[in-house]
Amino acid sequence: MSDTGTELARLVVALDDGYAAYDQEQALLAEVGARFELRPCRRNEGKALEAVRDADVVLVRESPVSRAAIEAMTHCKAIIRYGIGVDNIDQAAASERRIMVANVPDYGTDEVSSHAVALALAVSRRLWLHDREVRAGRWSTGVLQPMFRLRGRTLGLVGFGRIARMTLEKFAGFGFGRVLVHDPRADLPEGVERVDMDTLCAASDVISLHAPLNDHTRHMLDARRVALMKPTAIVINTARGGLVDTDALYEALAARRILGAGLDVFEQEPPGIHKLFSLDNVVVTNHMGWYSEEAMRDLQRKTAEEAARVLRGETPLNWLNRW
């Protein structure tokens, strides 16, 4: 190893705060002679540009790591995402500079899949609507809005990675008559049908999105495909907000052309006071499907371990922009 002073000059910068503690990052990076520094940017591109200049490794959650920020880096070796999606990182610019981009795809699988099921049930059983009624002192055993049992109906999964597979496992007890998957490359278990996106939209009663966001998947649920959906359709999105044309979804929900939606993610985050929030057939949460105390600790540890690998001269386990 080099002398201690040289080693400790190596710097790992985190661009987003929000975790309760950073003891794992500090300890794991100290083991490879690096210091950890938190430089919160709060999604501000200009602040991110300044924060990354002297970093050997950059850790990021939501803040944009743009081409300009990457070009400002003087000696960065890797950008590592606290999480799965990397649509806030300019991978092409990073590749040009030979800066590795990595993520942590194997955390929170149990949590996000549970959240997808919870949203589907909350919409299906109209929990928000009935909760509101009881809190307001209204008590009625009459029908406020139609509800339909899930048994015998059709589940559609868009993408079939770790989270989608566990979502299917958790939905298994509800007795869906058919399970459709849109994922050209995934190996499917027996009894699951591979279909194109249009077929899935037209046939499914619950449509759960589990695809990454990229140029090919942005607005994959557009106005045309929303128009294909059944009146009993429920849209669940725990993946990325940009997969859905929000305006098209809003129009269908407002007109009651589909039954409802459960959304943990939005095209713009935070979304502000969105017109969707005025509808009583939508359940929304604040991109927290990934969260449990265990998942948060797992994510921080795995992110720091990837940074330590890079500083040891190794390649990340989940290196995305390989050259």
Catalytic residues: 240, 269, 287
Buried b (16+ CB within 10 A) or exposed e, 219-238: bbbbeebbeebbebbbbbbb
Helix (H, G, I), strand (E, B) or coil at 262: strand
- Secondary structure string (H, E, C) spanning 6-59: HHHCEEEEECCCCCCCCHHHHHHHHCCCEEEEECCCCCCHHHHHHHCCCCCEEE
Q: Cα dist. 108→83, 299, 300 in Å?
A: 9, 8, 12
Nearest CA to 235 among 253, 218, 247?
A: 253
Helix (H, G, I), strand (E, B) or coil at 104: coil
